[in-house]
Structure 1
Amino acid sequence: MGRRDVTASGTGLRRRPRLVAVLFAALLCAALPAGCAVYEDRDDPDAAQTSPGAVREVPLRVVEQGDRTLAFVPVTIDGEGPFRFALDTGASTSVVAEDVADRVGLELTGERRAVSGILETGEVPVARVDQWEVGNVPLDPGEVTVIDLGPPGGGGGIEGLLGSDVLSDFGSITVDYDDGVLEIPAP
C-alpha cells in the first residue's frame, strides 16, 4: 500500500456525505473482530517537538478486508480512552459514537446537523469537545456530530471518525500504511 501524503486544506479531498462515511465504516467494522486495535506510543512526543521540521507519530492500525482498507487511530477525550476512531479524510466532520459521548459526558450544543446517506436523511445532535488528542497530539476544541454506531464494543468497535475538519488544522499529514503510522507536523 505504501505511504500517502494528504493535503488536508480542504482542496483535493474527496468529499462524501457524512452518514455514508459512517455507514461505510460501521458496515466494514461489523465484520471485523471486536478489539482488533491495540495502540502503543511509538516515540517520545517531547523529542519530536524539539526539532524543526519534525513530525509527531501516531500509531495507526490498518485493517484490510477484500478491496477495502480502514485505518484506526487512538483518540482520547477528556482523559478517557483511547477510543478507536477511523481516520477518514473524506468525512467533512468528525463523528463520536453515542455511547462514547455519554461515557465521557460530552455536552450537546442543542444544534442538530443534517446528514444523508444512501438510503436515508436525518438530523443528528452536535456536541462540543474541549479536550481531545489523537495519539499524543492535542486537537483543537471543536464540535462533533453524535451518531449511533452500534452496540458498544461490538462489531469491530468503531467509536468515531476523525474527519477533515480536524485533520485540515495540520495543513498536511502523512498516512504510512506499511509502517502503521500517521505523521503529523510538529508545531
Structure 2
Amino acid sequence: MAARLAIAAVALALCASIAPSKAAEEPAPATTQELVQLETDRHDRMTVPVTIGEHGPYDFLIDTGSERTVLSRKIATAMGLAISGNAVIVGVAGSIPVEVVDLDELTFGRRTYYGINAPLLEDEHIGADGIVGLDSLQQQRVVFDFAKNHMYVDESAKRTSLKGFAIVVQARRRSGQLIMTNASVDGVPTDIVIDTGSDGSIGNLALQKALSRSRNPKTTSLYSVTGQIVSADLGFARMVDIDGMRLHNTVLAYADAPAFHRLGLVKRPALLMGMTQLRMFRRVAIDFAARRVLFDVPINIAGLNNGGRPF
C-alpha cells in the first residue's frame, strides 16, 4: 500500500469544539450555488477543471489540507510565467524551498479568483496540473457529493440550507484550517483534519503510542507533493468516532510527518483523514466561513452511538 499526501503550505492548527445538530431542510434553487463536475486521479483524489486567464482547462486537485493554491512548473513554463518570489512548502515528508508565480486570474466553475501567488511544484509529484487550496476556498461552502461525483460551491454567507446532513460539527478556525477535536480513535481522544488531497489517513506518533500498537508493524511509504518520501508504520483502527458518528475497520499509516509539526499536532493524538474514509459518506460539506463540517451518513457504512441520532 502506498499513500500520497498532497499538502502545500500547511496552516497552523486550531482548536475545535463540536456539537450535534439537526438535519437541515431541502434547499431551494439558488443562483449563488454552482456545480463543478469532479474527476478522480490515479490515487482516487478529486480533480476539477481550472482555467488560468485564457489558458486551460487544467486538472487541479481539490485539497482541503493545502493552505495555498499550487501550480505545476510544467504549466507555468508553458504559459511563460515569470518567477515573482520564493516560499517554503511543508509536506508530509519534509519541507523544501520553491519558486512562486503570480496568477492574475484563476477560474473553476463560475468563480474567478484574482491575484494568487502560487508556489511551483513538479507535476509528476502533484499528480495533476495544480492544486486548489484553502486560499481559493475561504468564505465558501463546498459540498463533495460522492454519490453523484459532483462538487457544489456556494457562498457561505447565503446560508443555503442543506438536506440530509445528520451530523454537523461546529469548529473554530485558525489560518483556514478546521480541526475536529470531539473525536476519538479506539477510545483515544484525537484531533481530526479533513484532507481531500490524500488518498489514505495518516496518524501522528502520539496516536500510535496512545493506541499501544505493535512494535514490529508492517511499513509503507508516503509520497509528498514535494517529491520527498517518508516511511510510515501501518496500523488498524477498529473504530473512529466523530461526535458519535462511527467508522469501523480503518487502515491507518503512522508517521512523524512535518505537517503535524506545522499544524501544532504533535503532543496530542491527531489524524489526517483522507479520501478512502471520506468516500464512505454520501456527501461531506465544509463550510469555511461558518466553521462547520457536515456529514451525510449512509446506512450500513457508518453507525451512530447510543444517542440514537438518525442517519
Compute the TM-score of the two structures, normalised by the length of structure 2.
0.42
**Whole-angstrom CA distance in 2 between matches of 1:169 and 1:109:** 29
**Whole-angstrom CA distance in 2 between matches of 1:157 and 1:181:** 20
* Amino acid across the alignment from 2:222: V
Structure 1 segments, 4+ long, off by >6 Å, are none
* Amino acid across the alignment from 1:160: L
Q: How far apart are 1:168 and its partner, in Å?
A: 0.6
**Whole-angstrom CA distance in 1 between matches of 2:230 and 2:280:** 28
Q: How does 1:107-186 map to 2 (within 5 A)?
A: 107=214, 110-117=217-224, 118-149=226-257, 156-157=264-265, 159-186=270-297
**Whole-angstrom CA distance in 2 between matches of 1:37 and 1:160:** 14
Compute the TM-score of the two structures, normalised by the length of structure 1.
0.67
Q: How far apart are 1:24 and its partner, in Å?
A: 4.4
SS of residue matched to 1:141: strand
What is the identity percentage for the equivalent residue pairs of Structure 1 and Structure 2?
12
Q: How far apart are 1:153 and its partner, in Å?
A: 8.8
**Whole-angstrom CA distance in 1 between matches of 2:254 and 2:275:** 16
**Whole-angstrom CA distance in 1 between matches of 2:261 and 2:228:** 25
Structure with the greater alpha carbon radius of gyration: 2
Q: How far apart are 1:172 and its partner, in Å?
A: 1.4
What is the number of equivalent residue pairs in this alignment?
Answer: 151
Which consecutive residues of structure 2, in runs of 5 or more, have no partner in the other structure? 24-162, 298-310
Structure 1 residues 24 and 85, CA gap change in structure 2 (3 angstroms):
farther
SS of residue matched to 1:100: helix
Higher relative contact order (CA 8 A, sep 6+): 1
Q: How does 1:1-187 map to 2 (within 5 A)?
A: 17-18=4-5, 20-21=6-7, 24-25=9-10, 28-29=11-12, 36-43=14-21, 53-64=164-175, 69-74=176-181, 75-81=183-189, 83-107=190-214, 110-117=217-224, 118-149=226-257, 156-157=264-265, 159-186=270-297, 187=311
The Cα offsets for residues 25-82 of structure 1, whole Å up to 9 and x where unpaired, read as: 4xx33xx5xxx40424243xxx65xxx9352112333322xxxx3221233112221x
Which consecutive residues of structure 1, in runs of 5 or more, have no partner in the other structure? 1-15
Structure 1 residues 108 and 143, CA gap change in structure 2 (3 angstroms):
farther
